[in-house]
């Protein structure tokens, strides 16, 4: 399923909310789970991962009305580590959460460009508009201006171009002649010449609709004798290469893109927990189940089996690592992974 359909498919939703929802008892359950010494983490999971984002906002209001405390701040004070990050992430309305991830990616020393590329390349125009609105409300500055201030060169141009959301096209009508011309222009801007006309790549990849680009990619391969991905890898490098490849991957299959992001976050030494948390939380009410299916097709194993080392003897692990695994295990099971 390509990225450009701004939809919510029932079979793709992992967190659907409670059909018999009442925020007051849920608020009381959460309060009791964090009252006194220790925290009943399972009770938090049972409530927060089985309610929709909208229902969680209502629980937060009921929590403050009943106990005079901010639920998110209470979670922060009672929890720690990745479990805290997961529970707090669940408490953010979707667009505010993505705005926070973008803000955190740009604050401090260094910029986490991969996070910015992931979000901007995979969202629709309407989603990007909501993220920009949330960003300005929460941080008092323009997302576009902050991206311009924090990045430079061709990467800055790609990100600002993606932020405009120009790739949406609900009509899905493709002009074959224009697609052929774009393919020829891409070839002329890269493989055909010494050096690369990066702006031509940026203009076509970041402003054309996904349906149009799919046709362009077909025509390009006929002309160049290689895929657009291979040409991007040979013609560009670094963050610009990453950004262009992400656009292509999201155009071809959004669920494959997120499946690959999840796999790479868990492959090799260490685990990029923040990437796991961001994708699982942000896609849980959109298409997480479809991402799970694609993950299994691509890697021959379930997403859950990689998030949680089911057969690993945690007693042989570093104690801190085993706690992280158990947290991911509970979280994975709660979201039906």
**C-alpha separations of 254 from 2, 122, 189, 246 in Å:** 5, 7, 26, 10
Indicate if the pLDDT at residue 23 is higher than 50. Answer: yes
What's the confidence (pLDDT) of residue 8?
A: 39
pLDDT tens column, 39-58: 998 899 899 988 999 999 99
- Dist. CA 311–CA 178, nearest whole Å: 53
User: How confident is the model over 60-85, as a mean pLDDT?
Assistant: 94
Question: How many other CB atoms sit within 10 Å of the CB of residue 128?
Answer: 20
Q: Is 276 exposed, middle or buried (0-12, 13-18, 19+ CB in 10 A)?
A: buried
End-to-end CA distance of the chain: 20
Q: Is 296 exposed, middle or buried (0-12, 13-18, 19+ CB in 10 A)?
A: middle
Q: What is the pTM of this model?
A: 0.87
H/E element, 140: none
Q: Are 111 and 239 in contact (CB under 8 A)?
A: no
Q: Is 239 exposed, middle or buried (0-12, 13-18, 19+ CB in 10 A)?
A: buried
Q: Are 206 and 167 in contact (CB under 8 A)?
A: yes
Chain centroid to CA 228: how far? 24
Q: Going by C-beta distance under 8 Å and a sequence separation of 6 or more, which residues neighbour residue 121?
A: 162, 243, 246, 247, 250
pLDDT tens column, 98-111: 999 999 999 877 77
Mean pLDDT is lowest, of 218-222, 290-294, 323-327, for: 323-327
- Dist. CA 194–CA 173, nearest whole Å: 34
SS3 250: helix
**C-alpha separations of 66 from 45, 56, 63, 264, 291 in Å:** 21, 15, 5, 43, 38
Q: Are 173 and 134 in contact (CB under 8 A)?
A: no
What's the confidence (pLDDT) of residue 333?
A: 53
- Dist. CA 337–CA 317, nearest whole Å: 23
- Dist. CA 250–CA 3, nearest whole Å: 6
Read off φ and ψ for residue 27, nearest 5 degrees: -60, -40
Indicate if the pLDDT at residue 313 is higher than 90. Answer: no
pLDDT tens column, 232-277: 999 899 999 999 999 999 999 999 999 999 999 888 666 688 898 9
Indicate if the pLDDT at residue 11 is higher than 60. Answer: no
| Six-digit token string for 24 | 């007051």
- Dist. CA 88–CA 312, nearest whole Å: 28
Chain centroid to CA 17: how far? 20
Indicate if the pLDDT at residue 84 is higher than 50. Answer: yes
- Dist. CA 173–CA 298, nearest whole Å: 30
Instruction: List b or e across 143-175, with b for residues whose CB sees 16 or more CB atoms inside 10 angstroms.
Output: beebbeebbeebbbbbbbbbbebebbbeeeebe
Q: Are 75 and 91 in contact (CB under 8 A)?
A: yes
Biggest distance spanned by C-alpha atoms of the chain:
70
pLDDT tens column, 130-140: 999 999 999 99
Average confidence score pLDDT of the chain: 86
Q: Please provide the size of the chain in residues.
A: 337
Question: How many other CB atoms sit within 10 Å of the CB of residue 335?
Answer: 23
The larger pLDDT score, comparing residue 193 to residue 206, is at: 206
């Amino acid at each position: 399923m390509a990225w450009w359909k701004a939809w919510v498919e029932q079979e793709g939703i992992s967190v659907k909310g409670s059909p018999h929802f009442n925020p007051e008892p849920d608020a009381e359950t959460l309060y009791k789970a964090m009252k006194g010494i220790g925290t009943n983490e399972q009770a938090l999971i049972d409530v927060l991962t089985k309610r929709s984002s909208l229902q969680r906002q209502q629980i937060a209001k009921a929590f403050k009305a009943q106990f005079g405390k901010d639920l998110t701040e209470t979670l922060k004070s009672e929890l720690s580590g990745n479990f805290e990050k997961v529970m707090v992430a669940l408490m953010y309305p979707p667009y505010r959460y993505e705005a926070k991830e973008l803000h955190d990616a740009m604050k401090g020393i260094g910029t986490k460009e991969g996070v910015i590329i992931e979000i901007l390349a995979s969202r629709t125009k309407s989603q990007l508009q909501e993220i920009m609105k949330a960003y300005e409300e929460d941080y008092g500055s323009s997302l576009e201006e902050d991206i311009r201030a924090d990045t430079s060169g061709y990467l800055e141009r790609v990100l600002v171009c993606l932020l405009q959301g120009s790739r949406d096209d609900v009509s899905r009508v493709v002009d074959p002649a224009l697609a052929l011309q774009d393919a020829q222009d891409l070839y002329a801007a890269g493989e055909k010449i010494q050096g690369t006309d990066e702006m031509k790549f940026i203009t076509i990849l970041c402003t054309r609709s996904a349906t149009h680009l799919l046709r362009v990619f077909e025509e390009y391969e006929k002309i160049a004798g290689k895929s657009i991905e291979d040409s991007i890898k040979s013609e560009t490098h670094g963050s610009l290469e990453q950004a262009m490849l992400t656009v292509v991957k999201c155009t071809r299959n959004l669920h494959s893109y997120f499946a690959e992001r999840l796999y790479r976050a868990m492959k090799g030494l260490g685990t990029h927990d923040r990437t796991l948390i961001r994708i699982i939380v942000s896609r849980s009410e959109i298409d997480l189940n479809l991402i799970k299916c694609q993950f299994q097709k691509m890697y021959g194993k379930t997403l859950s089996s990689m998030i949680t080392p089911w057969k690993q003897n945690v007693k042989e692990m570093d104690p801190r690592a085993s706690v992280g695994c158990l947290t991911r295990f509970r979280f994975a099971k709660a979201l039906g992974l």
